């Protein structure tokens, strides 16, 4: 994909809509796109996390200890938690359709958070919500 097309695609993702051109260009450099097929286990519970993913197209489900937690769709991200806390993946994430994903490794993810504080705050809010949700489902 051409860099301009990639930036246009990135701007459509709600998490990134408000980024400046400079930030979008940086994000485009810091991420790659990949396709996965329906049924693939994109993230495996218990493994060390190396990448965070943002869904451009398609759907996935979060499954913990074999139990469905939540469905994810376009604009949602996953795999961020273990990059932030260096703990093993706390759930599986399984593609429930063919998917197009934006992928960042740990170093790229940190660079994007440093470059775009607004994105960092949005991710922080979502992570706190997820932690609370996961704690509540344990009581």
Binding site for ligand CMP (CB under 6 A): 43, 49, 62, 69-70, 78-82, 89-91, 93, 130, 133-134
Instruction: Kindly state the smallest distance separating residue 3's Cβ from ligand CMP, in Å.
Output: 27
Give the residue with the Cβ less far from ligand CMP, 31 or 82.
Answer: 82
**Residues ≥6 apart with Cβ < 8 Å to 4:** none
Q: Which two tokens stand for residue 89?
A: 């993946």
Give the residue with the Cβ less far from ligand CMP, 7 or 81.
Answer: 81
Could you tell me the end-to-end alpha-carbon distance of the chain, in angstroms, rounded to an integer?
46
Please, what sign has the CA dihedral across residues 125, 86, 9, 100? negative
In Å, how far from its chain's centre is CA 34?
A: 13
Instruction: Kindly state the smallest distance separating residue 23's Cβ from ligand CMP, in Å.
Output: 22
Instruction: Kindly state the smallest distance separating residue 110's Cβ from ligand CMP, in Å.
Output: 14
């Amino acid at each position: 994909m051409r860099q301009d097309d990639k930036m246009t695609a990135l701007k459509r993702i709600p998490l990134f809509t408000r980024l400046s051109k400079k930030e979008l260009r940086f994000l485009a450099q810091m991420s790659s796109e990949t396709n996965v097929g329906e049924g693939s286990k994109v993230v495996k519970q218990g493994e060390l996390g190396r990448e965070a993913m943002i869904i451009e197209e398609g759907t996935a489900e979060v499954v913990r200890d074999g139990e469905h937690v939540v469905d994810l769709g376009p604009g949602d991200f996953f795999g961020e938690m273990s990059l932030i806390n260096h703990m093993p993946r706390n759930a599986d994430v399984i593609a429930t359709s063919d998917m197009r994903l934006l992928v960042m490794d740990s170093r790229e993810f940190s660079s994007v958070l440093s470059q775009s504080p607004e994105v960092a705050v949005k991710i922080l809010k979502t992570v706190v919500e997820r932690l609370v949700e996961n704690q509540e489902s344990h009581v």
